[in-house]
Amino acid sequence: MANLHVIIGEDDYLVAEAAKRIVGDGTGLEVFDSLNSTNEDLQLADLREADASFSTPPFLDPRKVTWWKNVRFLPQSGKGAPGAAVKEALEKFAKKLAASPLPENQHFIVSGPRLLMTSVFAKTLKTAAEIISFSAGKPWEAAKNAAVRVIDLAGEMNLRFERGAAESFVARVGTDSRSLMSELGKMRDYLGPKSHTITEADIAAISSQGVGVEPEVWAVTDAIGERKLDDALAALSRFEGESGFAVMATTVIEKLFRQLAALKDAKERGALAEATEGMNPWAAKKTIAFLGKWSLQELRVARARFMALREKAVSSAGSVDVLVTTELVRVMRPGRR
């Protein structure tokens, strides 16, 4: 079992790191890459090559490692599922792998982004192979895990995040480890040899938004929650000029004030635990920290003003974009508690 390995995950950096621990110094390594095998003929040809390598022992060589990587046609549901002929060939190969113990100095690795664990292929290898799976999980779980991971990656570069900055970094860059590593390298160059702490300002200044990552609306809501007017206006300015700006901005800001008002009210009634039940734990902790910056009356007034402005943005024929900034300045100014 220790010599047969199946590594599954969409984060190719994590998959590669797990494989490298098995590969070691690369002695006797044979790599077969199926990244571009997008049709049945190529997939079956790759499978035959991997089978031939598996079936050839090291003979007089000290060690042999076969790594069949980027196998995107492993059994899975939905798009990407293998055709009938490939599926049958994979199941046959899995039976061969399970029934043919490898010598001590030979390892076989198969890796890919997805594998249906209830498939015949997976069930056949369940007891015969070491199966490593980097499950993406729910989006907030992936973000939480990435924040923990990026703190470790930063430590390897002699960097550390100020409190809350790791989560902001992940929210901006994304959860892909290779992207996180790339942006950390850029951050290391930006900070220079004398600085080792990554701040929210550094992230805003230098970190690139990851591919597929939604624009950083969180930067607007976080600044409003912390009652930092200049930061909120700077974050909001990134969206100005976009189609539907006023509707988007008023919707997001009204939702924030609605949530804060509900939590503030629950806190004053001693029911905060019940009100945050079911929330993302990290998001709940961050949102609760905002409550000390606002009175309940301020939150209710702010919500009402942005509800009214949203209705105007939706129904008005003219642009009300400038009113978003005006209203935000009005509600964020310190007032009587």
Going through 19-134 in order, the beta strands assigned E by DSSP cover 29-33, 64-69, 106-112, 130-134
CATH architecture of 217-332: Up-down Bundle (1.20)
The type of residue at 42 is L
The predicted model gives 33-43 an average pLDDT of 95
| pLDDT over 90 at 213, yes or no | no
pLDDT of residue 285: 84
How many alpha carbons fall within 13 Å on the CB side of residue 52?
Answer: 9
CATH architecture of 4-134: 3-Layer(aba) Sandwich (3.40)
Taking the domain 139-206, which CATH number applies? Answer: 1.10.8.60
pLDDT digits (tens, 9 = 90+) for 162-196: 988 898 888 888 888 989 999 999 999 999 999 99
pLDDT of residue 224: 94
Q: Return the H-helix or E-strand segment holding 198.
A: strand 197-198
Q: How far is CA 258 from the centre of its chain?
A: 27
pLDDT of residue 7: 96
| pLDDT over 80 at 118, yes or no | yes
pLDDT digits (tens, 9 = 90+) for 259-316: 999 999 999 999 999 998 877 676 788 889 999 999 999 999 999 999 999 998 888 7
The rounded mean pLDDT for the chain is 89
Which residue from 180, 22, 3 is spatially nearest to 107, judged by alpha carbons? 3
The predicted model gives 80-109 an average pLDDT of 94
- Whether 4-134 and 139-206 share one fold: the answer is no
* Residue 52 pLDDT class (50, 70, 90 cuts): very high
Give the C-alpha separation, 155 to 196, whole Å. 10
Is residue 295 a contact partner of residue 337, using CB atoms and an 8 Å limit?
yes
At residue 254, the 3 state secondary structure works out as helix
pTM above 0.85, yes or no: no
What are the extents of the domains in the chain?
Answer: 4-134, 139-206, 217-332
